[in-house]
Amino acid sequence: MNKQFIEEILDQPDALVRCAENYPVSNVQLNGLADDLSKWRYRQIILTGMGSSLHACYPLWLLLNAAAVVPTLLWDTSELIHHAPTAIDDNTLLIAVSQSGETVEIRRLAELSQRPGLVIGITNDINSTLATWSDRVIDIMAGEEATVSTKTYTATLAANHLLGTQLTGGDVNAARDEVLRSVADVQHFLDSWQVDLETMQEFMGRRDHLTFLGRGVSMASVLTGSLITMESSKVVSLGLSSAQFRHGPLELVDPNFMAVIFAGAPSLQHLHERLANEIVELGGRCLVITPDPMGYRRVGIMELPIPRSSPALLPIFEILPLQLLTIALAQAKGLSPASFRHAAKITSKE
């Protein structure tokens, strides 16, 4: 067992409190951005990052596009700097997310000749390259993290939610209070982590391949779940929308197939219930992570309940069992979870 990894998982309630309590709610410049956007001071928003930092932007991307503030794009930073640097101009509000603020792609972004109209950096290091390059800095206050992203990821989700509320002219104080109220539920879930770990170990067994499926804001959990499973457990993982899964990858289902399905918001439950049943009928198995258990009664499906929350905070709760799942999968292969073999905490090479 990787003790430090467990400690970082269990520190998430405190990290969320630090992030929410220190978020710059009263920052006049951030609060004025909603008005700037409504007057088309900026003609587009670009969200960018790498790894879990990029995936944490998915709910914010959905929120900003649903609000129709201005067109909002979601870019992998490497793709942005190498293939579309001209997408950045004086009319761009760039929101760059990097937990370390020092990944090689973020440093290359800061070296581009064309500077955006405004840069908001979201990071866990206010002395980093990203922080010093940014016009506005949001410190997620997650604290030191040495292993696979856990508390930095959930703190980033919280910071993105608060920033999205500001950019769309919402009540940031109310959103901050919502994050703080959710901490008790996060703590309650993590209090039983050993029981949940044992339950997943029994159901999952040893796995060499795993597929993560979901829709909407849960795509952040799908993509991050796949990423940290490969990184922490050395299990080949596929993460894609449950809709895309039907466009070809359904052919993967056989007796060795295992899916982790994020049931998501109530409006999506019936779609995921149908998909889980179909996967089992085809011989596969499913772990369903849901805030609204449906009471599956068939062999091959296990529900793992998570606390109910607003859709905006759902990804924070969805990723908690996935963090524990990486431990179960690693131990089943005789590995120490979240121990780096080839990579490093900060990616420094392209």
Quick one: pLDDT at residue 26? 86
254 and 280 share a domain? yes
Buried b (16+ CB within 10 A) or exposed e, 52-88: bbbbbbbbbbbbbeebebbebbbbebbebbeeeeeeb
Burial 128-157 (b: 16+ CB within 10 A, else e): bbbbebbebbbbbbbeebebbbbbbbbbbb
- Asked if residue 338 is part of any domain, the answer here is no
d(CA 58, CA 93): 17
Instruction: Report phi then psi at 174, rounded to 5.
Output: -65, -40
Based on the domain organization, do 119 and 204 belong to the same domain? no
Does residue 347 lie within any of the structural domains? no
Asked, for residue 44, whether it belongs to a domain, the answer is yes
Kindly report the CATH number assigned to the domain that includes residue 244: 3.40.50.10490
pLDDT tens-digit series, residues 128-165: 999 999 999 999 999 988 778 899 999 999 999 999 99
Identify whether residues 198 and 166 lie together within a single domain: no
Instruction: Give which of 149, 193, 157, 192 is closest to 178, Cα–Cα.
Output: 157
C-alpha dihedral sign at 285, 215, 171, 151: positive
Label the pairing between strands 136-139 and 92-98: unpaired
| Total of domains in the chain | 2
- What percent of the chain has pLDDT above 70? 95
End-to-end CA distance of the chain, in Å? 31
**Residues 83, 36 share a domain:** yes
Alpha-carbon distance of 40 to 42, in angstroms, equals 5
Tell me, what's the pLDDT at 256?
A: 94
Q: In this structure, is residue 350 part of a structural domain?
A: no
Q: Is 344 part of any domain?
A: no
Asked if 150 and 247 sit in the same domain, the reply is: no
Model pLDDT, residue 321 = 94
Residues of the chain with pLDDT under 50: none
How far is Cα 100 from Cα 346, in angstroms, rounded to an integer?
7
Residue 238 three-state SS: strand
- The DSSP string of 163-182 is HHHHHTT--HHHHHHHHHHH
Q: Name beta bridge partners: 259.
A: 211, 286
* Rounded Cα gap, residues 313 and 307, in angstroms: 10
Chosen domain end from 148, 169, 189: 189
207 and 87 within one domain: no
Residue type, 11: D
Length of the chain: 350
Q: Are residues 124 and 229 in the same domain?
A: no
Neighbours of 43 (CB within 10 A): 14
Helix or strand (DSSP H, E) at 209: strand 209-214
Give the Cα-Cα-Cα angle 336, 337, 340 (nearest 5 degrees): 85
Q: Are residues 116 and 209 in the same domain?
A: no
For the entire predicted model, the pTM comes to: 0.95
Nearest to 69 by CA among 41, 94, 97: 41
**Residue 20 parent element (H or E):** helix 12-21
Shared domain for 285 and 176, answered yes or no, is no
61 in a structural domain:
yes
Whether 158 contacts 20, CB under 8 Å: yes
Residue 253: how many other CB atoms lie within 10 Å: 20
pLDDT of residue 58: 98
Residue whose C-alpha is closest to residue 119's, from 129, 83, 155: 129
- The whole domain housing 307 covers 192-332
pLDDT score of 314: 97
pLDDT value at residue 222: 98
Distance in angstroms (rounded) separating the CA atoms of residues 54 and 76: 7
Burial class (CB in 10 A: 0-12, 13-18, 19+), 115: middle
Q: What is the DSSP letter of 45?
A: E
